[in-house]
Structure 1
C-alpha cells in the first residue's frame, strides 16, 4: 500500500512538472498598449508657449511586456490617429526588442490636419488611435512566428485639451477582440494538453 501511495505521489509530481513546463513553453500574452497622454493644444485655454493656435497633438504611447519569461520583438509600429472618422495624422516607429516584463514609451507630436477647431462647440471631443504591428516571442533557444497585433481605442479629450483618463488616473488601453479570442483558444489548448498528460500517466 505504501509503495502504491509513493507511486501515486511520484505520478502527481511528474504531472505537475510536465504541466508547468508546457505552460511555460506555450504561454504567451500580447503586450499591453495604452495612451498615457494626449494633449490637444488647440483646445487649451492657457499656455506659456503660445500653442493656443497650434494644431499639434502630443501623445505618449506605452507598450508593456506582461510575460515574465519571454522577450518580445516588435516589427515596425504604425500608429494612426483620427478625429471622428477623419484621418488627422500618423507615426511610424522602428522595430525594437523588449525584455522580460519591461515597459517602454513612444512619444511624439502630430499636426492634426483637417480639423475645424473654430467649429468645436462640445465640451468633449472624441479622437481615435489605432496601432498595427507584428510581434515575435523570444523563447530560450528560438523565436516564435510572427503574430499580428492590431489594436485601437477611442480617446476622450475635455475642453482643456487633456485626455480623460480611467479610474486611478490610468491611461486608455488599446484593445482588440481578435486578440482576446486568440488568448481564449490558447488557454483551451493548454487545458487539453494537461488532460492528455494526465491520461498518459493513468
Structure 2
C-alpha cells in the first residue's frame, strides 16, 4: 500500500513538473515583442546655414527610417506603413509617405530612406529660428498593422502606432546623434504576454493540484 502511495506521489510530481514546463514553453513560444522603429537620419537642406545659398530654396526633407525585429525565432509581416510629418511647434502637416508592406525575418533590421517635398512649412520663420541659435522640431508619426510569424503560422494583425520628435539645428540635421526612437503610449504585445504568461503558468499548476 505504501509502495502504491509512493508511486502515485512520484507520478503526480512528475506530471506537475511536466505541465509546468509545458506551460512555460507555451508562454515563451507565444510571447512577441513589437519591432523597434527609429529615425536614424533626418536632414532639412533649407535649414543648413553653412550650405550653398541655393539650398534655402530646397524645400525637401530626407529621412532614414530603421525597422528592427529583435526576436530570434519570430518574423514580422508589415502592412503598408503610413508616415506623417509635422512641423512640431504648430503640429502643421507638411509631408507624408507610404512604405509598401513587407516581411522581415528573425533578428533582421531594415532601412527605408526617402526624400520628400515638404509643403506648408513656414520656411522663413524656421530659418530665422535656427539662424538665431535656436532649434526647430519636427514630429514623425508611423502607423501600420503587423502580424507575427511563429514557426509555420501567423498571429492576427495588430495595430502599431508610434511617434517621436526630431530636433533640428542650423546644420539642417537632427541635434541628437543617436537614433530617435518612435514610441507608443499604449502597451504592445510583449507587455501583454509578460503580464499574461506567468498567470497561465500559475493557473496550470493550480489545475494540476486540484
TM-score range, shorter chain: 0.7 to 0.9
Q: Which runs of 5+ in 2 are unaligned?
A: none
Instruction: Single out whichever of 76-85 and 9-18 deviates more from structure 2.
Output: 9-18
Match of 1:146 in 2: 157
Match of 1:77 in 2: 81
Match of 1:45 in 2: 49
Contact 1:30–1:179 (CA under 8 A) maintained in structure 2: no
Task: State the Cα deviation string for residues 113-152 of structure 1 (Å, max 9, x = none).
Answer: 1122222333100100001100010011211111011111
Contact 1:149–1:179 (CA under 8 A) maintained in structure 2: no
1:14 pairs with 2:18: yes
Instruction: Single out whichever of 38-47 and 28-37 deviates more from structure 2.
Output: 38-47
1:117 pairs with 2:123: yes
Partners of 1:157 and 1:70 lie apart in 2 by: 36
Aligned length: 198
How far did residue 14 of structure 1 move?
2.0
Match of 1:187 in 2: 194
Runs in 1 of length 4+ with deviation above 4 angstroms?
Answer: 1-9
1:31 pairs with 2:31: no
Task: State the Cα deviation string for residues 27-55 of structure 1 (Å, max 9, x = none).
Answer: 01111000001101001123379534311
How far did residue 68 of structure 1 move?
1.1
Of structures 1 and 2, the one with the larger relative CO (CA 8 A, separation 6+) is 2
Match of 2:100 in 1: 94
Judged with a 3 Å threshold, the aligned counterparts in structure 2 of structure 1 residues 75 and 49 are, in CA distance, closer, same or farther, namely farther
SS at match of 2:46: helix
Partners of 1:170 and 1:201 lie apart in 2 by: 50
Partners of 2:62 and 2:199 lie apart in 1 by: 46
Match of 1:127 in 2: 138
Instruction: Single out whichever of 12-21 and 28-37 deviates more from structure 2.
Output: 12-21
Partners of 1:68 and 1:9 lie apart in 2 by: 33
Normalised to the residue count of structure 2, the TM-score between the two structures is 0.84
Q: Which runs of 5+ in 1 are unaligned?
A: none
Cα-Cα RMSD: 2.4
Partners of 1:21 and 1:50 lie apart in 2 by: 61
Task: State the Cα deviation string for residues 2-49 of structure 1 (Å, max 9, x = none).
Answer: 979966874564245213311233201111000001101001123379
Judged with a 3 Å threshold, the aligned counterparts in structure 2 of structure 1 residues 170 and 3 are, in CA distance, closer, same or farther, namely farther
Normalised to the residue count of structure 1, the TM-score between the two structures is 0.87
Match of 1:177 in 2: 185
